[in-house]
Structure 1
Amino acid sequence: MKSCEVNFDGLVGPTHNYGGLSYGNVASQSNSQQSSNPKEAALQGLAKMKALMEMGFVQGVLAPQERPDVAALRNLGFAGTDAQVIEQAAKQAMPLLVASCSASSMWVANAATVSPSADTADGRVHFTAANLNCKYHRSIEHPTTSRVLGAMFADQQHFAHHAALPAVAQFGDEGAANHTRFCCDYGEAGVEFFVFGRSAFDTRYPSPQKYPARQTLEASQAVARLHGLSEDGVVFGQQNPAVIDAGVFHNDVIAVGNGEVLFYHEDAFLDTEQMLAQLQGKLGQLGGNFQSICVPRSQVGVEDAVRSYLFNSQLLTRPDGTMLLIVPEECRNNERVWQYLQGLTASGGLIREVNVFDLKQSMQNGGGPACLRLRVALNETELAAVNPGVIMTPPLYDTLTQWVDKHYRDSLRETDLADPQLLLECRTALDELTQILKLGSVYPFQIN
């Protein structure tokens, strides 16, 4: 049965703003308080989706969340009408209002961890929503994320959904941003690679000293158990604490994998040789030929990797088996990174082409091409069971661009978040979006 990997990109929400909320994310912090352009951000994301669709890749859409999250503010003691809650938060605790307005759900690589049916004990595709408990503004996402994923992958015969792990530091889970799968074919059993930043209980593993390690070993192990993965099909690797302290807050900022290939920076991991040997051995037992492409620090330093988001790219397999790398414009603007990429494609190796996209609005908030997509490997039967309303087509692209033009603002600053009209604009837009994507009632304002 034919299988494929579908990229479900997060649609940027109407409240996209630069709140500087993500400690450890250099881009997020350095662009704090700048004026954002939600409309441009959404259109840039849609342009990437359209381009991949036109290249022949199956492309999907994942809806944004309702913001500001008035219910979250009520849970923190603000009361009255929705407008009064927003007004009180703006006067008494502006940082909480900014957090409740974050459009960070656009980076759906953090939405969940996904295991395809070829790997799981019950032969279904498994989803575990990420608790994202390291950052308050993201920790409030998973209830809506679960409802949206449930509406997209509703057929229980083919799809299984798990609630987020306990929202405590010991089980910090950041989803697919720290998870990669290697396989010969998307429909065949593969090796799932979980990358963690620290262990909550085992002191043998070192931790970063400056920035928090957001993914724990214990969280990764729990997800593997929930998904029914076999020991032979799993490898756990630790991210280098030094690169976390250099601004590599997720593994997908320093490595990306697809098919049988891992593209990574020399300083990405601890015990790299042992880890690569495990991946090679376990994939080899499945008939695969694991291959790795190491980017040496002498050619691209960690600082350049973080500034350009070289590794926060999409590594895609073309029909002829060669690889295509989707990178942000910042890679072309970095002389050392661009020189490396030119040499990489000229070498005749696995990665033959690099495509550049303008994702400046997302990049300034700390998210590149890989942050914007959740990968789901599906066979033909499973793909047919996906809610068809979320699969990108030329008519859907046209409809969504018109929807963005109709509902999104051209400019948004922190002071604008106190405008109660913004909440009404967001709800109106999302109510229409659920009809476009055929999601049903997934937002709190539609349910309550």
Structure 2
Amino acid sequence: MTKLQEINFDGIIGPSHNYAGLSLGNIASSTNAGEASYPREAALQGIAKMRHNIDLGLAQGFFMPLDRPNMAWIGSLGVTLTDAEPHIRAAAYSASSMWAANAATISPAPDGGDGRCHMTVANLQTMPHRSHEWPGTLMQLHTAFANRDHFVVHTPVPSPFGDEGAANHMRLCTSHEEAGIEIFVYGKSGGPFPARQHVEASKAVARKHGLKDDHIIFTQQSDKAIAAGAFHNDVVAVANEQVLFAHEEAFENRDGFYAEVLRKCPQAEIITVPADKVSLADAITSYLFNAQLVTLPDDGSMALILPTEAKENKAVWSYLQELVIGNGPIRKLCPVDVRQSMANGGGPACLRLRVVADPKLVDQRFMATAEKLDAIAGVVEQYWPETIMPDQLTDADLLANIQKARKALLQTCALTELET
């Protein structure tokens, strides 16, 4: 008999991590465009976060960086890497697959009709630099979840319907191994910024996964939140088991949405952070909600794994201190340093994809242990560039070093079949 538990799969930050400012509507990405990035430091920060999760007793997995620059993609545009316009070259180099929350949408086995965990790889078609991720991600999903008796991996929803994966998807349940309510959050308008998740894509994923109508909720992210820089729902809301933790201004029709949540999931506990205590701007700059809300295995209480930026924001930290001393389910705050990811617009929750499954059924090469993380850190320290400036992307030596670094990591993790 399988034993289901939540596994956090983090994307290992790749050696081409750079700040090209490619993500329209992502304030951090735009603000830091043109600055020096630190790929080695970034990857080591991500590894440290995974170690932290393991120390908490959580199941932890990882995904490999994709092959970058994507020479096949840039070739399909009829240019070479050298001749391409700077934004096209940067898109080919993008290490954005590190944000595994956008890899796919996951429906655990208890939610569907066939007793298997369903996952649909996200098409990410709204942003050029992310639109060419899905083939490499799909290959990893097929490899990591190859047991067809327990996993079904679906191809992406076709364009033009934008799908951004689990960053716009939440799940409420009594416990991870029980059937739950799946919440699909879509956008319509965000002023000058595109709404990346289309309702048509969300509905298509729900159909692919065999979800029943009384176990699904579709709700709209607020236009105000998108315009303020909440380019994904996970910047303003997060859920874990029976708890929904959200900003007051996260949803377009908050009252109607909350009523539907409580009707379909009566045990749900909704924690709304009021705007007069934490402004939308503070929530977005601190990535308060882009935390990993997790259930601790030792006592069943919940913890927020937060970016250190949340601790440095006076209004946010004051609110959180009040929250954890109360009688609510969230009892522990765990700040982690992921500043290199944050500077490009991704917090702790962006870096991970949640999969509810029996860890023994996953290809064990993708499951983290302290020893594996030591080995991965050793590769990063030896091969990852210390720093990259956007104008270095024409440098032939940088190209060769990035490709050499990824190859060394794949060899260390015995995943050389992912080389192409």
TM (norm. structure 2) is 0.97
SS of 1:87 mapped into structure 2: coil
- Match for residue 405 of structure 2? 429
1:77 aligns with 2:78: yes
User: Between the two proteins, what is the percent identity of the paired residues?
Assistant: 46
Q: 435-444 or 28-37, which moves further after superposition?
A: 435-444
- Match for residue 201 of structure 1? none
SS of 2:111 mapped into structure 1: coil
1:87 aligns with 2:82: yes
Letter of the structure 1 residue corresponding to residue 148 of structure 2? Q
What displacement does 1:441 show?
1.6
- Check the 8 A contact 1:132/1:172 in 2, yes or no: yes
- Match for residue 401 of structure 1? 377
C-alpha spacing 1:256/1:172, structure 2 compared with 1 (3 Å) = same
- Match for residue 152 of structure 2? 160
**What's the CA shift string for 1:18-39, capped at 9, x where partnerless?**
0100010000000100000000
2:136 to 139, 144, 162: 144
SS of 1:299 mapped into structure 2: coil
CA distance in 1, matches of 2:396, 2:355: 37
1:305 to 283, 291, 306: 283
SS of 2:153 mapped into structure 1: strand
**What's the CA shift string for 1:154-191, capped at 9, x where partnerless?**
111111111111121xx110000000111112111111
1:230 aligns with 2:212: yes
1:124 aligns with 2:116: yes
- Check the 8 A contact 1:323/1:350 in 2, yes or no: yes
1:176 aligns with 2:166: yes
Letter of the structure 1 residue corresponding to residue 326 of structure 2? S
What displacement does 1:439 show?
3.1
**What's the CA shift string for 1:294-349, capped at 9, x where partnerless?**
00000000000111000010101123221100110111111111111111112232
Letter of the structure 1 residue corresponding to residue 317 of structure 2? W
- Check the 8 A contact 1:314/1:327 in 2, yes or no: yes
CA distance in 1, matches of 2:419, 2:152: 21
- Check the 8 A contact 1:144/1:443 in 2, yes or no: no
- Check the 8 A contact 1:73/1:97 in 2, yes or no: yes
CA distance in 1, matches of 2:208, 2:408: 35
- Check the 8 A contact 1:86/1:420 in 2, yes or no: no
**What's the CA shift string for 1:115-141, capped at 9, x where partnerless?**
111111221111111011110000010
- Match for residue 47 of structure 2? 46
Letter of the structure 2 residue corresponding to residue 428 of structure 1? K
- Check the 8 A contact 1:152/1:439 in 2, yes or no: no
**What's the CA shift string for 1:338-366, capped at 9, x where partnerless?**
11111111223211110101111000000
CA distance in 1, matches of 2:206, 2:367: 28
SS of 1:194 mapped into structure 2: strand
CA distance in 2, matches of 1:195, 1:75: 33
1:272 aligns with 2:273: no
- Match for residue 347 of structure 1? 326
1:260 to 219, 225, 242: 242
1:417 to 393, 401, 405: 393
What displacement does 1:433 show?
2.4
1:113 to 99, 105, 112: 105
What displacement does 1:274 show?
1.7
CA distance in 2, matches of 1:56, 1:318: 7
CA distance in 2, matches of 1:58, 1:28: 30
1:318 aligns with 2:318: no
Letter of the structure 2 residue corresponding to residue 240 of structure 1? S
CA distance in 1, matches of 2:411, 2:106: 26
Q: 391-400 or 422-431, which moves further after superposition?
A: 422-431
SS of 2:14 mapped into structure 1: coil
- Match for residue 81 of structure 1? none
1:220 aligns with 2:202: yes
CA distance in 1, matches of 2:283, 2:321: 15
What displacement does 1:440 show?
4.3
CA distance in 2, matches of 1:231, 1:421: 54
CA distance in 2, matches of 1:392, 1:357: 18
CA distance in 1, matches of 2:227, 2:136: 31
- Check the 8 A contact 2:46/2:338 in 1, yes or no: yes
- Check the 8 A contact 2:170/2:182 in 1, yes or no: yes
- Check the 8 A contact 1:66/1:426 in 2, yes or no: no
- Check the 8 A contact 1:211/1:244 in 2, yes or no: yes
Total equivalences in the alignment? 418
- Match for residue 377 of structure 1? 356
- Check the 8 A contact 1:151/1:440 in 2, yes or no: no
Q: 130-139 or 265-274, which moves further after superposition?
A: 265-274
CA distance in 1, matches of 2:271, 2:396: 50
CA distance in 2, matches of 1:115, 1:191: 10
What displacement does 1:2 show?
3.3
What displacement does 1:248 show?
0.7
- Check the 8 A contact 1:344/1:351 in 2, yes or no: yes
- Match for residue 67 of structure 1? 68
- Check the 8 A contact 2:407/2:416 in 1, yes or no: no
Q: In angstroms, what is the RMSD of aligned CA positions?
A: 1.2
SS of 1:5 mapped into structure 2: strand
CA distance in 2, matches of 1:34, 1:243: 26
- Check the 8 A contact 2:56/2:296 in 1, yes or no: no
- Match for residue 362 of structure 2? 386
CA distance in 2, matches of 1:397, 1:370: 19
CA distance in 2, matches of 1:115, 1:141: 21
CA distance in 1, matches of 2:325, 2:178: 31
CA distance in 1, matches of 2:3, 2:365: 22
- Check the 8 A contact 2:4/2:177 in 1, yes or no: yes
1:295 aligns with 2:277: no
SS of 2:82 mapped into structure 1: helix
